[in-house]
Amino acid sequence: GAVVSQHPSWVICKSGTSVKIECRSLDFQATTMFWYRQFPKQSLMLMATSNEGSKATYEQGVEKDKFLINHASLTLSTLTVTSAHPEDSSFYICSARDQGQEEGNTIYFGEGSWLTVV
Amino acid sequence: QKEVEQDPGPLSVPEGAIVSLNCTYSNSAFQYFMWYRQYSRKGPELLMYTYSSGNKEDGRFTAQVDKSSKYISLFIRDSQPSDSATYLCAMKKWGFGNEKLTFGTGTRLTIIP
């Protein structure tokens, strides 16, 4: 099946610094990628929809200036957490839609990235 | 009211039992229904997807959708310890541009050897 790769899997950063997480579709093209946040024992919370070549669409309550999303190519989207604070510590997961397939069964998830801000 | 409701569990069953996981939803615009399995500290893995109402079987897994009742189910037969995970239902509207998935809260399942 299709593979979505996230990097890094684990990252620890200091408060006030920025950290970038990459999401790559390895064997398909993805015009649309999604970024989620997941707290322990909770479901996935959609943060934003990343659109190749255009601005991301953010969900209500998500700070655009804090969570910068760039989707520069059909296989890569990045999430940058700027001026990170301990409350930003979370599990961040991306997903991507295989645009070459029919609807429904074509959204694949990455393995997730654990961010700890100290 | 949440668009998708799912019992968070936890649910513990003995090995070999049949497991039934369920979600209800309120938005009749949902047309695609998916079940994801998520192991601890990992991303979700797509198990099953169904378009509109009906049943779909894949090995030990069966997904059912009843749109008239706005109710979906996932059955796991001959459950194994490796099935222990969190199961998330997800739904999507039809049409290009309606890419967003709406998730249930997930049910934590433990299969006891």
* pLDDT one-digit tens code per residue, A9-46: 999 999 999 999 999 999 888 888 999 999 887 889 99
Q: Is B45 on the interface with A (CB under 8 A)?
A: yes
Determine the pLDDT at residue B86. 95
Sign of CA dihedral B82, A92, A117, A76: positive
Give the nearest chain A residue to B42 (CA atoms): A111
Q: How would you classify residue A53: left for phi > 0, otherwise alpha for psi between -120 and 50, otherwise beta?
A: left
B109 touches chain A (CB under 8 A): no
Specify the DSSP class assigned to residue B29. T
Residues facing residue B62 across a β-bridge: B57, B75
B93 touches chain A (CB under 8 A): no
Total length of chain A: 118
Nearest residue to A47 via CA among A21, A79, A6:
A79
Any CB–CB contact under 8 A between A49 and chain B? Answer: yes
Buried b (16+ CB within 10 A) or exposed e, B1-20: eeebebeeeeeebeeeeebe
B101/A46 touch (CB, cutoff 8 Å), yes or no: yes
Q: Does A111 touch chain B (CB under 8 A)?
A: yes
pLDDT in tens, B42-75: 999 989 888 888 899 999 999 999 999 999 999 9
Decide if B85 contacts B37 (C-beta within 8 A).
Answer: yes
Q: Rounded CA gap, A43 and A53, in Å?
A: 29
3-state secondary structure of A96: strand
- The answer to whether the Cβ–Cβ distance between A34 and B92 falls below 8 Å is no
CB contact (8 A) between residue B105 and residue A110: no
State residue B80's pLDDT score.
97
Q: Do B106 and A43 touch (CB under 8 A)?
A: yes
